[in-house]
Structure 1
Amino acid sequence: MIEVVPIPTPSLGDRSYLVHDGEAALVVDPQRDIDRVLSLAGERGVRITHVAETHMHNDYVTGGLALARATGAGYLVNAAEPVRFERTPVGDGDTVQVGAMLVRVVATPGHTFGHLSYVLEDAGEARGVFTGGSLLYGTTGRTDLLGPDHTGALAHAQWASAHRLAAELPDDAAIYPTHGFGSFCSATQAAADSSTIGRERRFNPALTLDERDYVELLLAGLDAWPAYYAHMGPSNLAGPSGPDLSPPRRADAAELRRRIDAGEWVVDLRDRVAFSAGHVPGSFCFTLGDSFATYLGWLIPWGTPVTLLGETPDQVARAQRQLVRIGIDRPAAAATGRAEDWAAGRPLAALPLAAFADLAAALRAPGGDRPVVLDVRRNAEWADGHVAGAVHIPLHDLPDRADEIPPGNVWVYCRTGYRSTVAASLLAARGRLVTGIDDLFDNAESAGLSLTRPAQKEVPQ
């Protein structure tokens, strides 16, 4: 009996997979913290004999090489990839026996040039396919991560790859993608939690649209991707080691102050309400959650030392685990406990939080101190509708464009409150007077704010 066990990584919007026949196991696209995979294999009582990469990943540091070395497994990587480590080179049409299972390699370029999919066969029947960043649930992987010179060609290749999978596999073959669950490697987000080739034939634009219309739709929907992606490919080609998840060195209040004054990043992991009530001046609010590593990695100048502040050692450990997945290997230091302890008697800073109703009231108030409204959502979100009169600087551009914000009290908003609080903490550390909107953008209009929306196209009568 073959079992496919997804290993989700919600913080990056990805899934890895452990597939086994009760004895031998294959792992597809493992994340860097391989202890999760080893634990799962131990629970199932199976031996990992093979590890497979669908592609050289752009959104995380792979654990594939470290897992293969730890288990003695064969490491399946496209023979055409210019890697700098020993691997089992595979290419289109190759087959690999994994216990009772047969794995067939299919070239599916599009997300990258060297992208592969792995068809899982049992008793001569295709049971499923591990599609990486090729055919996803209701969408496909994006095609612009290798630069604008290749985006168009890869988009056409992505369409052809989707059609090849649909032509070669039966309708009941399950699809097991790596991306699509929040990852910026996906063109859009998954439209389901599971799927088959037959379902994708009916609903996936790559299979329902002709090539030209699919390519136009794909390219029109592409938006910014995290800056740290630029470092993932080179790291994966070099062959990353396993992570060091041992506790960081403890820092006292004096050291925290020195690090902030030196321009290092001291990151507060507490929820934004706690940060708002009192935090170490100059520290940044990145509440620990599924968005933590993505936005920290997106914003931080690469290589800047990071110190983590958490209420408990477990909070710091969970943040550290998220960071090693994107190549931030070791925090410079950490501190746990209360904000008062981190400040050692010095005054804490506060950060006002408000709702959209409060912003509407502030804009209606008489006097000359009109708030500066800052929208830090991405371009596509802004284009769908925004607060009238707002200044637009996407969060990922804010460190380089903060000087463009007009003088005055800045009220900053996003879609849910996470990015607005990050932005508010960055601006407060620069000495700006700022209020964070901790509210859903969906509430803005009902709170009394005027929204600017895209013009509606007239429907011909």
Structure 2
Amino acid sequence: MSAPPIHPLVDEGLGNTAWLIDLGDGRALAVDPPRDLRALRAVAERRGLTVAYAADTHLHADFLTGAVQLAATDHATILASADGHRAFDHYGLHDGDEVDLGGLTLRALTTPGHTDEHLSFLLLDGPTPLGVFTGGSLIVGSAARTDLLGADRTEELARAQYASLHRLAALPDATAVWPTHGAGSFCSAPPGAARSSTIGTERATNPLLAAPDADTFVARLVASLGSYPSYFARLGELNRRGPAVITDGPMLPALDVPAVRRLLADGAVIVDVRPVADIAAGHIPGAVANPLRPQFATWLGWLVAPDTPVVIVRNPDQDPADIVWPALNIGFDRIVGELAGGMPAWRATRAEVSTTRLVTPDQMPARGVLDIRQHAEYTSGHLPRALHLELGHLPQQAGAVPSEALTVMCGHGERAMTAATLLERAGHRDLSVLVGGAEDWATATGQHLEEGA
């Protein structure tokens, strides 16, 4: 039998894939569903499917599980590791346990490394493996990171990951590999567009599986690890306890200017989600820019403390659901509302407005450059003599940035605009933002980029 219809549900912002498996009788299995179930529900409705099972491969650090929501609203049975000690009703699985899906079988395989209680789920037709949902164990071209439980456990978990990958690699070559983490995920290391693979392909091409021994594997995996969002530290426990069930659609209450001013006086933060050009043309002083795009939630959770009330500034054509759902997906539930009427309403009160200069690569003034990309991005090619400080570290280290005229840059401009507003909040002035990235500068100027740190 060939594999049943399997629908990948890719979250480009978090770099993850949830999987919806059509069991052939109107029922479906969801693997690693997120709390934001909009994409999953759209596919299920289109296919006439009811989610009967929701399987979580591990206690996720980068998003809240949607399994609890599916159990409450769809009466789905939650499948997860018994070793995860989840505090809600679920069917706890141990190594080798099997679940009859009605013609197909799901077998639990313990594959620790990314987390202690990590399971992979092997989908079987009789004795024949069709594919394996590997979560954060074996992923396309690599393996998921092993430092989420602390630096003191990174090597121990990397060695467990080595054993888990080799256990999975012993499956038949034709077995499909359906991981959760992929390109763009801070839980995984490699770039690349592929979201699935096969055991045979991974055995032939995955550099970690090519490591001759555990020591080499550990060294390669650990060397690939960069920084990750601060909110990762709290989501695992929230997933163990179980996210609250959402009974009403997410709302973005309208707040007039006086109400916003009162909230700001009490410690709230403005998050401006408009496009870069709009923010540059005029934003509320002290606002944090976070242009709405797939990566919006990652930077919201990384840069704004989870207990800080947030007021949104948006344009009328930006859907509130695309703001609130991604925030809830990462456990950020302190968005208290939006500025009614947006920036036109703020300007109408003759309140102060801040602006930020945008420059193209051929317009860059002779001034300092602050590159706020991730370390791997920076070392792959940066402007000569550019200062480097990752955006995720900027709220704590803004005081270390020289108080001189600076052009802030990233890969395109969105993160640079965020950085510029964070620097403005810290008292920096005379800032500009580069529209474009390092390669655009090199093309425009004919100059070479520098590599390395």
The normalised TM-score by structure 2 is 0.93
Residue 123 of structure 2 is aligned to residue 120 of structure 1: yes
Determine whether 1:391 maps to 2:396: no
Name which of 378, 388, 396 aligns with 1:400. 396
Deviation of residue 406 (structure 1)?
1.7
| Cross-structure match for 1:57 | 60
Are 1:22 and 1:46, in contact at CA under 8 Å, matched by a contact in 2?
A: no
Name the stretch that deviates more: 396-405 or 191-200.
Answer: 191-200
How do 1:341-352 residues align onto structure 2 when only pairs under 5 Å count?
341-346=345-350, 347-352=352-357
The residue number in structure 2 matching 1:382 is 378
How far is the alpha carbon of 1:450 from its aligned partner?
6.3
- The unaligned stretches of length 5 or more in structure 2 are none
SS, match of residue 342 in structure 1? helix
Aligned residue for 1:10? 12
Note closer, same or farther for the CA distance 1:201–1:19 as it changes in structure 2 (3 Å cut): same
1:257 and 1:97, CA in 2 relative to 1: closer, same or farther beyond 3 A?
same
Q: Distance between the aligned counterparts of 1:40 and 1:381, measured in 2?
A: 35
Alignment RMSD: 1.9
For the residues of structure 2 that align with 1:16 and 1:341, how far apart are their CA atoms? 40
- State the AA in 2 paired with 1:5: H
More off after superposition, 105-114 vs 119-128:
119-128
Q: Secondary structure at the match of 2:385?
A: coil
Instruction: Please give the per-residue CA displacement for 1:177-202, whole angstroms capped at 9, x wherever unaligned.
Output: 10013110112234524311111111
- 1:314–1:271 CA distance, 2 compared to 1 (3 A): closer
Tell whether 2:196 aligns with 1:198: no
Q: TM-score, normalised by structure 1?
A: 0.91
Structure 1: gaps of 5 or more residues = 364-370, 456-461
The aligned counterpart of 1:421 is 417
Q: Deviations 1:116-141 (Å, cap 9, x if unpaired)?
A: 00011124311111000011111111
Equivalents in 1 of 2:218, 2:108: separation in Å?
A: 25
One-letter code aligned to 2:7: V
CA contact under 8 A between 2:358 and 2:432: conserved in structure 1?
Answer: yes
Aligned to 2:183: 181
Give the distance between the partners of 1:415 and 1:122, measured in 2 at CA.
46
State whether residues 90 and 105 of structure 1, in contact with CA within 8 Å, keep that contact through their aligned partners in structure 2: yes
CA distance in 2, matches of 1:38, 1:57: 21
- TM-aligned CA distance change 1:279 to 1:134, over 3 Å: same
TM-aligned CA deviation for residue 17 of structure 1: 1.0
Q: 2:142 matched to 1:139? A: yes
Following TM superposition, by how much is the alpha carbon of 1:314 offset from its aligned partner in structure 2, in angstroms?
Answer: 4.7
- How many residue pairs match? The answer is 445
Q: How far apart in 1 are the matches of 2:250 and 2:196?
A: 36
- What pairs with 1:180-329 in structure 2 (closer than 5 Å)? 180-190=182-192, 192-210=194-212, 211-243=214-246, 244-312=248-316, 314-329=318-333
Kindly indicate whether residue 80 of structure 2 is the aligned counterpart of residue 77 of structure 1: yes
Q: Is 1:442 matched with 2:439?
A: yes
The CA deviation string for residues 317-336 of structure 1, in whole angstroms up to 9 with x for no partner, is 21111100000125111135
Question: Do 1:19 and 1:26's aligned partners in 2 also have CA atoms closer than 8 Å?
Answer: yes
Separation (CA, whole Å) in 2 of partners of 1:33 and 1:238: 18
**Stretch deviating more after TM superposition (383-392 or 58-67):** 383-392
Query: Contact (CA 8 Å) 2:250, 2:325: kept in 1 or not?
Result: no
- Counterpart-to-counterpart distance in 2, 1:183 and 1:166: 22
